[in-house]
Amino acid sequence: MRRALLAALMLAALAPLRPAQAAWPERPVTLIIPFGPGSSPDLSGRLLAERLAAAWGQPVVVQNVPGASATIGVDRVAKAAPDGYTLGYTGDGAMVVRVSMDPPTPYDPRRDLTPITLVFRTRNLLAVHPSVPATTLAELIALAKARPGQLAYGHAGIGFSTHLTGEMLKQAAGIDLTAVQYPNEGQMFADAVQGRLPVVIGGAAVIRRAQAGELRGLAASSRDRIPTMPAVPTIAESGFPGFESVAWFGLIAPARIPAEVVDRVHRDAVAALAAPPVAGRLDDLGLVAVGTTPAEFAALIPREIARMQGVLEPLGLRAR
């Protein structure tokens, strides 16, 4: 008994000498953005990274890892060490749509990733070069029917909302547009502004060019109109009730990341979204700030995968 008591007292005396677990983060955090520099996800992701760095007192280093409809960058997040020092910022294209298509992604977001928070939803604008003789969506559809297969629209990747918007419109309107995928959004916008690409679908960059008069906005793919372009109707208002095609983007991490890190990242990200500088900038980019709990974001993904399989099948986009 005396030996046991002595041992317990010795352990108690030594306990304060054990090093305390370091508070996260104690070094720079990497944020992988699987899109090219200058894209809407890149701009908004960097904005968020700046606010998180200020909150954490550590640099948040952005790495652009584009390619394969964002799946290369997301796969890098999935395979990173689950220590909280590698996070990702990606959208439904890589988290939902590509998961529902062939070939399968090298990761399963329901198993290999930790959703942290949904950050924003997009508003996409369908626009044409001013030389295209169409001032409304109805006129563009009539032109496409008169020139089947001769009009091309550009998109940023198979499975992205910019691609699905075009394919859904083709099916709904019964028209034949040629889809052109661009690995670099900058080149797509340059081709659109210079008239080499008659139709383009996109977010902030397309909206800015339409506001500058370099492109003509015909319709928004979201449920509501774009606040900075209130005179432009939605596709739903232009003869296709119920039409909606938008994207969402959120913060993710590898699976098995410590719960306390998830809670910290979620809390600080949601606070950043509510800050006037961030909220105002998101509005300028044509984005709608969201901010969900990790549980809400995690529950959204399997629901969206199931829903998207139903969208892809009629479009013939090789749904699995």
Q: Are 93 and 161 in contact (CB under 8 A)?
A: yes
Q: In the chain, what are the domains?
A: 29-122+247-315 (3.40.190.150), 125-238 (3.40.190.10)
Q: What is the pLDDT of residues 278-296, one digit of tens each?
A: 877 777 777 888 999 999 9
109: number of CA atoms within 13 Å, CB side? Answer: 29
Amino acid 318: pLDDT: 63
Predicted local confidence at residue 203, as pLDDT: 83
Q: Supply the DSSP string of 161-216, one letter for each residue.
A: HHHHHHHHHHHHHT---EEEE-S-HHHHHHHHHTTSSSEEEESHHHHHHHHTTSSE
What pLDDT, on the 0 to 100 scale, is given for residue 275? 86
User: pLDDT tens digit string along 67-92?
Assistant: 888 999 999 999 999 999 999 999 99
pTM of the shown model: 0.80
C-alpha pair distances (Å), 97 with each of 136, 156, 313, 316: 29, 14, 12, 13
Q: What is the CA radius of gyration of the chain?
A: 23
Q: How far apart are CA 53 and CA 49, in angstroms?
A: 6
Q: Closest Cα to residue 205, out of 154, 275, 152?
A: 154
Percent of the chain at pLDDT > 90 equals 63
Q: Cα 265 to the chain's mean position, in Å?
A: 18
Name the β-bridge partners of 115. 252
Task: Write b or e for each residue in 240-249: b if 16 or more Cβ atoms lie within 10 A of its Cβ, otherwise e.
Answer: beebbbbbbb
pLDDT under 70 in the chain at which residues?
1-22, 318-320
d(CA 277, CA 7): 58
